[in-house]
Copies of this chain bind each other. A is one copy, B any other.
Amino acid sequence: MNISEVAERSGLPSKTIRYYEDVGLIAPGRSANGYRSFAETDLHKLAFLGRARSLGFTIDECRRLLALYEDRGRASADVKKLAEGHLEDIDRKIAELTEMRRTLSHLVHCCAGDGRPDCPILESLAKGAV
C-alpha cells in the first residue's frame, strides 16, 4: 500500500503518518522507487495509534502502549497503570478548566454587555477580585 491508501484507511493524514515514522512509531518498508510500502500490520498499528491519540495519550505513551501490545508476556497491570496515570492527567485538566469556567462564567454573567464602558470582567482582571 502507498501512503494515501493507508491514510484513507487509517483516518490519519499522510503528514501524520510520515511524522510517526520520523519519531519511530512505525517502520514501513520501501519500494524500489523510494515510496513507503505499508503492510497490513503497519495499517493496524496506525489505527491503534489513532485510537490511542484520540484518547489523549501522548506520543510517548503511545510508544509504550504499542510496546506492551507487542509484548506477549506483558502484565495487564502495566497497561492499567499507564492508563490510570493518563486518567489522572485528564482529571487534572478537567479540574483546571472547570475552575476557569466557573470564574469566567460568573464574570460574564455580571457583565451588562451593552454600550457602556463599565465592565466587571475588566475590573476583575485589573484588581484581582473574582
Contact = CB atoms under 8 A, between A and B. Distances in A.
A108 B83 contact: yes
Instruction: Kindly state the interface size class of chain A when it binds its partner.
Output: 35 or more
A115 B83 contact: no
A47 B86 CA distance: 33
Interface stretch (A1-9, A12-20, A29-37, A97-105): A97-105
Interface in A57-72: 65, 68-69, 71-72
Given A105-B87, A111-B83, A125-B65, A117 B74 contact: yes
A21 interface: no
- This chain's copy number in the assembly: 2
Given A76-B114, A125-B69, A90 B83 contact: no
Given A52-B125, A75-B114, A80-B108, 10 more contacts: A51-B124, A69-B126, A77-B114, A79-B121, A80-B121, A84-B108, A87-B105, A90-B100, A90-B104, A93-B97
Contacts of A114: 75-77
